[in-house]
Amino acid sequence: MKTNINSIFTTGFEAESLSYDYSASIECLAHPEKPLYNGGIIQNPQLNDGLQGWTTFGEAKIEHRESLGNKFLVAHSRKQPYDSVSQKIYLRKGLHYTLSAWIRTTEENVAVTALVKTSKAYKFGGAIYAHSNCWSMLKGGLIADATEEAHLYFESNKTSVEIWIDNISLQPFTKKQWMSHQRQSIEKARKRKVEIEVVDEQGNPLSNASISVTLNRGGFPFGCSMNKNILNNKGYQDWFASRFTVTTFENEMKWYTNEYEQGKENYNDVDGMVQFAKNHNIDVRGHNIIWDDPKYQPKFVYSLPQNQLYPAVSKRVNSIVQRYKGQVIGWDVVNENMHFSYFENKLGNDFTPKIFSQVHDIDPPTTLFLNEYNTIEDSRDGASSPPKYLQKIKEIQGYNKNIPLGIGLEAHFPNGSPNLPYMRASIDALAATGLPIWITEIDVESQNNQVGYFEQVLREAHSHPMVKGIVTWTGWNPQGCYKMCLVDNNFNNLPAGDVVDKLLREWGNTKLTTRTDQNGFFETSLFHGNYELEITHPTKKNYTLTHKVHVHSKDESKKTRQLIKLSI
């Protein structure tokens, strides 16, 4: 492997085969772990060479310290948030940079942010809540807009604290490498090698047998939001059912829809949509039980006195969860609760974990999601950053550790090119919880290259090994969709629809036809899912063997191959 050191803009990466490290730590450790990628382009990443490569940023004082054999850097005597420590780096336009560092502070639960100062902007790299008695891992990333000199530094609004920094890494990847990571991850996480052996009645191998492989249902849940327009529109039904295996109802399950007037409940549309989904083997995500945004409450809720509010909420929870328990694969329980706090302000800070616990009591096996936006899509929003999200998870688990929690990431991407390194690193951090992660409402703001960005984020989401399902927020409406439409009013594909169909074909929805070799074998790599095989052979005229196969992820024996023996 070779490293390019001939340019002042040192790349710091080696061969196209350099793998991405999906690991992240959410534990606060007594000693920081080694820097990822040996520090990448960072000089003196482990601080073994004193202050070499590091300088003061702002008016902080910096010093090199050692404790229990570990050497690290300290920024102290800080007066401004940006008073810190910095290293000069060289960015190359278009490269994807993954960033990590281990942080400690002299007070508890202090927000520390990594930033890169370029000639034109301050680029957010990542953030963490640091502690005084252990080290926390910050993981993030950015894409370079230009080839130029820049400065990496760390800041905290709490100027009274010292910021301790160790084992820093900034690793660049080309776009080609980034896409290679996606392909490698898909091969490992979404597919399995399948070996098919075809023999005759006596068990002798049949060479030159024709095998046709058709995917009936993909193993990875991929879907689209829907609304009540589907109930009486055959074109909408046919288009939807031929593509998707999971859905979320846009508004039909929301409280303001189901109980427009207090005491008068209406679930007619929901019942019809649930039945449509059942008839077509489409899973349903329950969205949502309570929405914490003050703008989206039933009108009668605003006038309820405090002593009547919780009973009304509790009645709502019981009503919808009892009605649809066992019929949904997950519930969005208290929606967007990290940005809004309508009910907490009125009923106390423990409102959210209480409602999660109540839903769990009614529907024990179903996964309950904390559904939020801007956790992976917009690094500028600190309200729901990965560290904040992790804190909220701990709060709910602290109230009731038996709740089967899920991580719901809406993924409404704003204007501008998506920050894929930040998206990937954020999912890495959340994945360290071991909880199932779903991309629940993915779309992209209207802009130039909207459809191109849509494809980028769909590919990134699908390729992450810990993402368990994707729902796009692109439900058709004759009056227009939320941010983007997949089809026109005649259910002909628009450009975004072409992207979805192209990806579905790539992810297994393509008929494969091949022949066995001289030993009667055929080997391929198939996406997880349910397949139908059709096998014919010249010696078995007018006869076709049909066989159904379920390609699953590696079983407990850890076998990487799935062997299927068929007799014709």
SS3 assignment for 359-413: HHHHCCCCEEEEEECCCCCCCCCHHHCHHHHHHHHHHHHHHCCCCCEEEEECCEE
Query: Counting beta carbons within 10 angstroms of the beta carbon of residue 257, is it exposed (0 to 12), middle (13 to 18) or buried (19 or more)?
Result: middle
Q: Which residue has the tokens 């967007």?
A: 336
Strands 246-249 and 283-286: parallel
Determine which one of 155, 410, 441, 460 is catalytic. Answer: 441
Q: Look at residues 112, 44, 102, 43 and name the one whose alpha carbon lies nearest to residue 82.
A: 112
d(CA 133, CA 135): 7
As to burial, measured by CB atoms within 10 angstroms (0-12 exposed, 13-18 middle, 19+ buried), residue 78 is buried
Residue 99: CB atoms within 10 A of its CB come to 24
Return d(Cα 443, Cα 483) in angstroms, integer. 7
Residues 6+ apart with CB under 8 A from 318: 358, 362
Find, among 424, 447, 391, the residue nearest to 19 by Cα: 424
Which residues have C-beta within 8 Å of that of residue 495, sequence separation ≥ 6?
451
Identify whether the C-beta of residue 37 lies closer than 8 Å to the C-beta of residue 167: no
Helix, strand, or coil here: 17?
coil
Query: What is the C-alpha to C-alpha distance for residues 85 and 152, in angstroms, rounded to an integer?
Result: 8
CA atoms within 13 A on the CB side of 548: 4
Residue 143's H or E segment, with its range, is strand 136-143
Query: Which residue, among 18, 35, 262, 350, has the nearest Cα to 168 in the 3D structure?
Result: 35
441 classed as catalytic: yes
Residues annotated as catalytic (active site), given as ranges: 441
